[in-house]
Amino acid sequence: MSAFDATSAPPLPRDATRRVMVGDVAVGGGAPVSVQSMCNTDTADATATLAQIARLADAGCEIIRVTVPDERCLDSFSRIVEESPLPVVADIHFDHRLAIAAARRGAAALRINPGNIGSLARVDQVIDAAGEQGCAIRIGVNAGSLDPAVGQRDDLTLPEKLVASSMAFVEHFERRGFEHIVLSAKAHSVPVTVETYRALSRALPRIPLHLGVTEAGTLRQGTVKNSVGVGILLAEGIGDTIRLSLTADPVEEVDVAWDLLAALGLRRLHPELVSCPTCGRTQVDLIPIAEEVSARLSRTKAPISVAVMGCVVNGPGEARDADIGIACGKGSGMIFVRGEPLRRIDEDEMVDELFAEIEARFL
């Protein structure tokens, strides 16, 4: 059997999607999968919202969405757009006039669900305003607000309804000559999400897809559901941008998103921690050591791998592909670099000495 030739592998679905610019961030067309989140501040409070955006940008967020629920938010929305370090997506429901106003006030993109924005005539007004302003639109379909003509059908499964509704909206936009489209079709069920996006990738291969499991829950459950659902799709080459919905601080969404991308080998922002699960051979209290290393790595922006191993069995040999690490023994540990021992240090100095080497060699 001949060796696998990566050059002969078929292109991934995300390589074939149309490239759409959201501000200065490319979505689709083989661009790196971008990370999004959404502010949970009152948009009318521009100062608080901008402070949260700054935190999210520092964590690695690349596109930020803010809600525009009513006219009182429009003036502060203008300031947010002007001062934000990230492209701002205006999240609009029900009132097409707010979407038009947000586009005219500088939104990099609009997120609308045509199923709840009103008549197609109102949708068309939004399309026209976005076209005039050079603003992208994310068509956001979800299980709770489908195209009424599709949602009432009993002969379709939920994934089929999501796909049919999405296709009808995309085709309407394109008939009007508007192609700056990103599409999402979300549900809180992981199997429904996976089935829907697989079908959308086949039916609309030109349209960039925004992935996420909506209403996924709090930090632990939401992380698991998004990692499974979004992870499966990304591994299959489906998806151009992600927002991992969590009932938590939005910074957690960004951290989990980057961990997911890194685990799949797609992108890496922070170091990877390689640590063994501990066993009866471990002669140090490894869990707090690993947690301290993880916490200190969490804001280190270097795409390296760092190992914390509990014994000589899972030491430099098992973790030789890590850039740097420490193998712990009774009362001491050995720092190693790419599998080669460097020096032995006392247990109470291990973490500080490990980070001194990281700073000297990689930062």
CA distance 91 to 68: 6
Q: Whole-model pTM?
A: 0.89
CATH class of 6-263: alpha beta
DSSP states along 36-86: EEE--S-TT-HHHHHHHHHHHHHHT--EEEEE--SGGGHHHHHHHHHH-SS
Q: With CA atoms as reference, report the closest residue to 37 among 103, 98, 84, 94.
A: 84
In the sheet that 324-329 helps form, which strands lie side by side, from edge to edge?
A: 272-275, 305-309, 324-329, 332-337, 340-346
Q: Which residue ranges make up each domain of the chain?
A: 6-263, 272-362
Confidence at residue 8, expressed as pLDDT on a 0 to 100 scale: 56
- Residue 7 CA to residue 45 CA, distance in Å, equals 51
SS3 content of the chain, % helix, strand, coil (to 5): 40, 20, 40
CATH number for the domain whose boundaries are 272-362:
3.30.413.10
- pLDDT score, position 322: 86
Q: Give the end-to-end CA distance of the chain in Å, rounded to a whole number.
A: 43
Q: Give the closest residue to 255 by CA, choosing from 290, 215, 295.
A: 295
Give the per-residue pLDDT at 298: 80
DSSP bridge partners of 86: none
Report whether 92 contacts 125 (CB < 8 A): no
Mean pLDDT by 10 residues, the chain (363 residues): 54 89 96 97 96 96 96 95 97 93 96 86 94 95 76 85 92 95 93 95 96 92 96 97 96 95 91 81 80 86 87 67 86 85 86 90 84
Q: Which amino acid is at 108?
A: A
State residue 313's pLDDT score. Answer: 62
168's enclosing H/E stretch is: helix 158-175
